[in-house]
Structure 1
Amino acid sequence: MKTATLSLAAISLLQLAVAQPHRRHAHEAFHAKKDVTVRDNSNIAHVIVYVDQNGTPVSTTTNLPAAQTEAPAAPAAPSPTPEAVAPVVADKVADTNASSASSPSASASSADGYGLTYNPYNKDGTCKTADQVLMDFGGFGSGFSTVRTYGTDCNTVSTVVAAAKAHGMKVFQGIYDIADISGSVNDIVSAVNGDWSIIHTISVGNELVNSGQASASAVVAAMSSARSLLRAAGYTGPVVTCDTLVATLANPSLCDNADYCAVNSHPFFDPNTDAASAGTFLTSSIESLKSKLADNTQTIVITETGWPSQGTANGRAIPSSSNQQTAIAAIKSAFESAPASVMLFNPYNMMWKTSNADQFEAEQWWGFLGDCPSG
């Protein structure tokens, strides 16, 4: 999962672990994350990254904890180099969405943009109005084609769909509570009102395996249930689940049973990665994951990644405004030929959340565009 600049034939041994998020509000749970830590040796996954004399990753091997590892998939064919990852993913995403009609309001150029995440909450945690959501969308600027949301609370589907249509974007719509799939699907069906062209993807759950809230088999079952209900309602687009790279490496069934592989991966939580290396970190993460999948040509999309502007240092990962700009630029550069393969977390600071030491006091400060225009 992680890489470092090493000399010829060097091996970087990295420690990754599943962490338990702190939870206060249901809608806060989607990003109480630290998917990389070095404190719990019982959950460590060792990723060996082989590099050449320039520090460029050549191949990777991952040794996962026996308690977390599913039966291995059949041996995979050699994966493309990191430089080839982005174009391959771009083609796959285009193929996956071919069954859904294009939105009349989406311009040709918007279909080629990056993705970003969004949550419709005020600083006090209350729900934003439709006008506030529309105002926030107006602050995104150009270059973004897809917006990811995490649940159906706060009338999110209706307000975000309306704002997305107004700005020529697609919606990556999340289902938060896998215990109530039918209720969430009904909310989505009602809000979409037959116009599925606006929906890019439906995601079932977010980091549920990483957080210990659900088993991989339970998430796979929820995905299957949601897909059946959505197909019956006329939706023909992709259905996926999102989890951390660590959880997905240990449980590739999360991707094997999805319409493409959706993974949250944050360079900041690797103490060996600085801001300038954020893009290389992600392409190397994709390469590590490919070897674990039943189909190593499956589309992989990074559905969360970014860098905080404030907080405490995590080794070489130092939060600051300048480092945030450097990291975002590096990520965009790495996916320049396939921008739809990455979603930036998060456009605006999230003052409704609570920062804490486990998250390096950074939980509120991921907004690469600063504070929300709507407050």
Structure 2
Amino acid sequence: MRLKVNLLALLLAYRSAAHPHDTFSVGHRRNAEHDVKPKEQVIVWVDHAGHTIGIEHKHQTPTATFKSSPTELPLLPNTDNIIPDNPLPKLTVEVPELNTNRGPRFGITYSPYTSHGTCKTFDQINQDIEHLRHHAFIRIYGIDCDQTKLVTQASRQHGLKVFAGVFDLHNFPDSLHYIRDAATAAGGDWSIFHTIAIGNELVNKGQNKPADVVNAVNTARGILRGAGYQGPVVTVDTFSVMLQHPELCAASDYCAANCHAFFDNNQLPETAGEYALDKARRISAAAGGKKTVITESGWPHAGQPNGRAVPSPENQKKAIASLRKAFADDPDLVLFTAFDDLWKSDNQWTFGAERFWGIQDMGREREREQDRE
């Protein structure tokens, strides 16, 4: 009877303040063995770790000798249904993948003509530029259709710079007035211009000799500096011409070269980026270490094969991805081109692809049907 009473007392003690009912730590209790009279009762209060925290005597309190030994508490109810394996919900954090295209990246070439070769209106140009706003700047080639003023106006609205230029040396240097007028229309603000180019592939096409182009670049720089423009002035030609004529680089504020792996019949789209990067490094080496910017590079999505270089939408995607990867640390790369140039015509060197270089994943398909109307 005594053992029963004592056990009952200790069990009650276990559920007392020493062991709150919502505490699930497994503790110990102690059985007290008394050398005392049977009428007397002693209750020992212990905590969850088995330490005595109090002794309660009832009736008389004779001297008692205690012998204690730890005894395991009865097993608590199965806590699997009380405490889940994961008592706190898992915190899920979305870690975005590294996006090398975050923010404006690279330049993109753009021609403001309809499929019939007529001039686009400002509203049409503005709509096109809106779809290109994830780039850093727009490269245009000439001054016709008042494109310098219209493209710079639209680009200002969308936070882009403009790589402008005169396409050839006809009416040069008077042709520079169109560029100056674009800045004047913006209150004399030249900050919109990324670069101003004097000619595009003039030596490669046989239109001008290298010395003539060098003189034109130097003349243009003097005129533009006098008008308030302090940015780069260059001439653009193919990478092979730049390697043969480093004086073109010397006259420019940086070396500006067009380079397309597609025109090398041994190239695959996966190597387009490394191909262009290698040519840029070679040009810089030939120019005494001067910076080189690849001012055109892309891949057609339709046309005829050039050996291993095959035009297709899938190959274009591979080539553009290769270019972005190879030039990840050089935001001045200029991708070719924003949209298909349906107004162009082919020759024996273009493999039926001249109209189909528009990058297909630009965010929308070119509105071909609208252009054809």
- Give the alignment's TM-score, normalised by structure 1: 0.68
Find the residue that maps to 2:281 and give its secondary structure: helix
Find the residue that maps to 2:170 and give its secondary structure: helix
Contact 1:157/1:192 (<8 A) preserved: no
**Is 1:361 aligned to residue 352 of structure 2?**
yes
Q: Match of 1:192?
A: 183
Q: Among residues 163, 166, 175, which one is paired with 2:154 in the alignment? A: 163
Shift of 1:345: 0.7
Kindly tell me the number of residue pairs found equivalent between the two proteins.
Answer: 262
CA distance in 1 between partners of 2:225 and 2:133 (Å):
33
CA distance in 1 between partners of 2:139 and 2:241 (Å):
20
Find the residue that maps to 1:180 and give its secondary structure: coil
Find the residue that maps to 2:266 and give its secondary structure: coil
Q: Match of 1:152?
A: 143
User: What amino acid maps onto 1:318 in structure 2?
Assistant: V
Shift of 1:336: 1.1
CA distance in 2 between partners of 1:372 and 1:263 (Å):
30
User: What amino acid maps onto 1:273 in structure 2?
Assistant: Q
**Is 1:137 aligned to residue 129 of structure 2?**
yes
Q: Match of 1:203?
A: 197
CA distance in 2 between partners of 1:326 and 1:141 (Å):
22
Cα-to-partner distance string for 1:230-263 (whole Å, 9 max, x where unaligned): 0110111110000001111111101011101100
Shift of 1:359: 0.6
CA distance in 2 between partners of 1:273 and 1:337 (Å):
23
Q: Among residues 283, 296, 299, which one is paired with 2:291 in the alignment? A: 299
Contact 1:275/1:327 (<8 A) preserved: yes
CA distance in 1 between partners of 2:316 and 2:106 (Å):
17
Q: Among residues 303, 317, 327, which one is paired with 1:325 in the alignment? A: 317
CA distance in 2 between partners of 1:318 and 1:221 (Å):
39
Q: Match of 2:273?
A: 279
User: What amino acid maps onto 2:111 in structure 1?
Assistant: N
Alpha-carbon distance change, 169 to 118 in structure 1, aligned in 2, over 3 angstroms? same
Find the residue that maps to 1:165 and give its secondary structure: helix
Q: Match of 2:172?
A: 181
CA distance in 1 between partners of 2:304 and 2:158 (Å):
36
Higher helix share: 1
CA distance in 1 between partners of 2:158 and 2:285 (Å):
38
Contact 2:109/2:334 (<8 A) preserved: yes
Consecutive unaligned residues in structure 1, runs of 5 or more:
1-107
CA distance in 2 between partners of 1:358 and 1:145 (Å):
31
Alpha-carbon distance change, 234 to 328 in structure 1, aligned in 2, over 3 angstroms? same
Find the residue that maps to 2:175 and give its secondary structure: helix
Q: Bigger relative contact order, structure 1 or 2, given CA contacts below 8 A and separation 6+?
A: 1
Q: Among residues 99, 106, 119, which one is paired with 1:127 in the alignment? A: 119
Cα-to-partner distance string for 1:148-188 (whole Å, 9 max, x where unaligned): 01011101011100111111110000112313223221111
User: What amino acid maps onto 2:298 in structure 1?
Assistant: G
Shift of 1:372: 4.8
CA distance in 1 between partners of 2:213 and 2:347 (Å):
28
Q: Match of 2:211?
A: 217
**Is 1:240 aligned to residue 240 of structure 2?**
no
* Deviates further, 178-187 or 273-282: 178-187
Q: Match of 2:247?
A: 253
Identity of aligned residues (%): 42
- Give me the CA root mean square deviation: 1.5
Deviation above 6 Å: which 4+ runs of structure 1?
A: none
CA distance in 2 between partners of 1:211 and 1:158 (Å):
27
Contact 2:281/2:292 (<8 A) preserved: no
CA distance in 2 between partners of 1:238 and 1:363 (Å):
29
Consecutive unaligned residues in structure 2, runs of 5 or more:
1-101
Shift of 1:334: 0.6
Contact 1:207/1:242 (<8 A) preserved: yes
Contact 1:136/1:372 (<8 A) preserved: no
Shift of 1:358: 2.4
Find the residue that maps to 2:243 and give its secondary structure: helix
CA distance in 2 between partners of 1:135 and 1:255 (Å):
35
Contact 1:332/1:339 (<8 A) preserved: no
- Give the alignment's TM-score, normalised by structure 2: 0.68
CA distance in 1 between partners of 2:153 and 2:234 (Å):
23
